[in-house]
Amino acid sequence: MKKLLSLLLIAGIGVGAQAQDKKFQMGLVLGPTFNWTKIQTKKIERSGIGNGFTIGVGGNYFFNDNIGIASGIQFDLESFSINYGPSTNTALGDVFYAYTDTDIHKFDEESGRVEDFSGTSAFLLQTRKFRAKYVTIPLFLKFQTNLIGPFKYYGKFGLRTSILAGIRMDDTGYEANYDSNNGTFEQINSYTKKMENMKPTAIKKGLSLVRTGIGIYGGAEWNFTGNTFLYSEIGFNYGITPALYQRSSHLVDKSENATDPDGFSYTQLDIRNNPQHIIELKIGLLF
């Protein structure tokens, strides 16, 4: 984190030093975020409102006194929870995975087996808390007033695109058994267990690699000295791409199937498209 802050500061100073033309502004930005997943399937349900924190470099380039482009690069830390099994909603099914230590193994739907796994350790998932890191690149059109006293007021409209940089998961549920001979999963006790810092070994990590939202923001800048502005803003981002992978590579959906030898079938969990909406509050400096 210290290295990241140093790089962002150097980037801001370096670009700012070259921006002699006041069509350019550069500075630092930080603030909290709040997110919620729009659930569009009966396979899962949202568990509360998620939260996060963002820090980065922001800048503006103006075509004239009132219209320009706002962009930058941000580092986001976010968390949110999803229910996969019955909590209050008994319509949710049984979702399992096989694991070794903190590694969750890939499930191959064609063979009906967990790949490269001969153990028996499995887990019946109830609730999962995602802890994710993103690199975010906002790109907005910015419309601002002229100075009204020491203040400018503005609005922004555009896209907020985030690239997944890392993920860990904290799971709650029950111990289960995986039979590698038959490819079956079964709960073995009723004592709730918590699994921390879990991570899938497959390329798909549970969250989409890229997510994009359409954002609208409003804010004010205070010219408190020279060419330096202190600003604050609030924005809403409407998610248009999935926040979670629509078809999981490691979560196994167990459902009744009369034609199967043990009366159940096992498939990769398919949750369809569930975008994420974000409210962002930011303060920053522009030079």
Q: Which two tokens stand for residue 117?
A: 């796994």
The closest alpha carbon to 59, from 8, 14, 25, belongs to 25
Q: Which residue has the higher pLDDT, 100 or 203?
A: 100
Enumerate residues 6+ apart whose C-beta is below 8 A from 29. Answer: 54, 55, 56, 57, 58, 72, 74, 282, 283, 284, 285
Strands, E, within 201-275: which ranges? 210-225, 228-239, 247-256, 264-270
30: phi then psi, degrees, rounded to nearest 5:
-155, 165
Q: How far apart, in Å, do the first and last CA atoms of the chain sit?
A: 24
| Range 68-81 burial, b when 16+ CB lie within 10 A, else e | bebbbebbbbbebb
Report pLDDT digits (tens) over 218-253.
999 999 998 899 999 999 999 999 999 999 999 999
Closest CA to 267 of 64, 80, 43, 42: 43
Residue range 181-204: mean pLDDT, rounded = 93
- Nearest of 43, 8, 35 to residue 252 by alpha carbon: 43
What are the structural domain ranges in the chain? 2-286
Residues 18-60: tens digit of each pLDDT: 333 468 999 999 999 999 999 999 999 999 999 999 999 999 9
Q: Write down the pLDDT at residue 2.
A: 46
Position 4 scores a pLDDT of 45
pLDDT at 172: 97
pLDDT value, residue 115: 92
The span from the CA of 232 to the CA of 221, in Å, is: 7
Token pair recorded at residue 172: 């709650």
Residue 84 and residue 133: Cα distance in Å, rounded?
22
CA 191 to chain centre: 30
Among the listed residues 285, 286, 287, 284, the one whose alpha carbon sits nearest the alpha carbon of residue 54: 284
Per-residue pLDDT, 18: 39
Residue 262 has pLDDT above 80, yes or no: no
Contact 138, 146 (CB under 8 A): no
Contact in structure between 150 and 207 (CB atoms under 8 Å) = no
Residue listed under structure tokens 């700012």: 16
Res. 258 pLDDT band, cuts 50 70 90:
low
Model pLDDT for residues 126-180, shown as the tens digit of each residue: 999 999 999 999 999 999 999 999 999 999 999 999 999 999 999 999 999 999 9
